């Protein structure tokens, strides 16, 4: 009988992306398995684009039992990759022979799953997630496959078509650089003037920079600041793409520029060259996976990362 696995990683966008290799590794080690993923509805589009996942369960567990998901049948393993009460509820609700989780457990999540400690050589968070899948393979007497994490992420054709139409309406044809001027924390945001400088130089070289973002006021304010500093028109699709369309948008870009935020990890998961900007988080753990050589790190603050240095990295990528 084929193995059945349940993954609980509900949020946020970047963390869901970084968790996808767990499903991909389980699929590689158990080719005929059935993999179910429980995710917050806001980020379900990411998992829907993962070819390793069979079923997507949208849920947002709170303390009310009516918000808790239900599952049919028994799982061979339930995996808590978030380590919070909401993901613990998902695992607790499942009937699973084995319940394990990512080692950073909080809010009582350790009561419902066994923490899997990462291998000492697993420095990046993605590799630490994959260590959980390796543990499951070993406990099921299966040989864990491969060393490098794979994301099994592929945009849906209908979303690619929609995004191509959106870009065309903005006058963008051919290659472009995608940028994210926003971030969850203000301290993770590169100065708007620096983004504007990069955008202007690329514009002068015939390469548009397209800015993405959500519908939040913070994202709209961030692109507004960039536009205020730029000498040339700034192309923006802020607030115009859903999560699935964001996957398609990243897949079409020639490069991505952004800080420690979801779209940076998304671009890397799709194999797009991703130029990362880091200060309060260290690239060795949270850079675009496999692309630490393209990351700019300045512990004294993002303001110290010069746009000229970032431009050099982007130009090197575009010349490849």
Query: Are residues 102 and 128 in contact, defined by beta-carbon separation less than 8 angstroms?
Result: yes
- Residue-wise pLDDT for 198-207, tens only, equals 999 999 999 9
Pairing of strands 95-96, 114-116: unpaired
Helical pair 192-204 and 217-229, crossing angle rounded to 10 deg:
60
Q: What is the pLDDT of residue 188?
A: 77
Q: What is the pLDDT of residue 129?
A: 98
- Residue-wise pLDDT for 111-131, tens only, equals 999 999 999 999 999 999 999
- Residue-wise pLDDT for 187-241, tens only, equals 778 999 999 999 999 999 999 999 999 988 889 999 999 999 999 999 999 999 9
Residue 19 dihedral angles phi and psi, to the nearest 5°: -90, -15
Q: What is the largest CA-CA distance in the chain?
A: 63
- Residue-wise pLDDT for 247-305, tens only, equals 999 999 999 999 999 999 999 999 999 999 999 899 999 999 999 999 999 999 999 99
Residue 105's Cα: distance from chain center in Å? 20
Query: Is residue 184 classed as helix, strand or coil in its secondary structure?
Result: coil
Query: Are residues 179 and 212 in contact, defined by beta-carbon separation less than 8 angstroms?
Result: yes
Distance CA(303)–CA(298), nearest Å, equals: 9
User: Is 183's pLDDT higher than 90?
Assistant: no
Q: Which residue has the tokens 């993405």?
A: 212
- Residue-wise pLDDT for 128-150, tens only, equals 999 999 999 999 876 666 678 99
* Cβ within 8 Å of residue 63, ≥6 positions away: none
* Cβ within 8 Å of residue 32, ≥6 positions away: 2, 3
Q: Mean pLDDT throughout 152-171?
A: 98
Q: What is the DSSP string of 263-274?
A: HHHHHHHTT--E
CB atoms within 10 A of CB 308: 11
CB-based burial label for 282 (10 Å; 0-12, 13-18, 19+): middle
Q: What is the pLDDT of residue 98?
A: 98
Q: What is the pLDDT of residue 152?
A: 98
The confidence band for 51, taking pLDDT boundaries of 50, 70 and 90, is very high
CB atoms within 10 A of CB 101: 24
226-229 contacts: CB < 8 A, separation 24 or more? 226/181, 226/192, 226/195, 226/196, 226/199, 227/196, 228/192, 228/196, 229/192, 229/193, 229/195, 229/196, 229/197
Q: Mean pLDDT throughout 34-50?
A: 98
Query: Is residue 194 classed as helix, strand or coil in its secondary structure?
Result: helix
């Amino acid at each position: 009988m084929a193995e059945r696995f349940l993954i609980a990683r509900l949020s946020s966008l970047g963390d869901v992306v970084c968790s996808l290799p767990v499903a991909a590794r389980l699929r590689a080690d158990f080719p005929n398995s059935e993999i179910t993923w429980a995710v917050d509805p806001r980020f379900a589009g990411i998992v829907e684009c993962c070819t390793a996942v069979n079923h997507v369960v949208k849920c947002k567990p709170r303390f009310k039992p009516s918000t808790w998901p239900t599952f049919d049948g028994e799982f061979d393993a339930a995996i808590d990759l978030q380590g919070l009460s909401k993901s613990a509820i998902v695992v607790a609700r499942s009937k699973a022979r084995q319940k394990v989780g990512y080692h950073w457990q909080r809010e009582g999540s350790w009561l419902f799953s066994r923490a899997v400690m990462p291998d000492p050589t697993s420095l990046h968070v993605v590799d630490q997630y994959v260590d959980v899948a390796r543990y499951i393979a070993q406990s099921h007497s299966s040989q864990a496959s491969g060393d490098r994490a794979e994301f099994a992420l592929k945009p849906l054709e209908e979303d690619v078509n929609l995004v191509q139409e959106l870009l065309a309406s903005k006058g963008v044809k051919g290659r472009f650089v995608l940028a994210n001027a926003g971030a969850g924390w203000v301290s993770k945001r590169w100065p708007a003037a620096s983004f504007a400088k990069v955008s202007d130089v690329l514009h002068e070289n015939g390469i548009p920079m397209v800015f993405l973002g959500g519908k939040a006021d913070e994202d709209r304010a961030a692109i507004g600041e960039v536009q205020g500093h730029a000498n040339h028109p700034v192309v923006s699709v802020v607030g115009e793409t859903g999560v699935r369309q964001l996957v398609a948008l990243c897949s079409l870009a020639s490069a991505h520029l952004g800080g420690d935020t979801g779209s940076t990890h998304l671009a890397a998961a799709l194999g797009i060259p991703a130029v990362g900007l880091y200060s309060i988080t260290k690239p060795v753990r949270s850079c675009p996976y496999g692309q630490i050589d393209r990351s700019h790190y300045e512990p004294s603050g993002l303001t110290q990362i010069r746009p000229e240095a970032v431009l050099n990295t982007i130009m090197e990528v575009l010349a490849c």
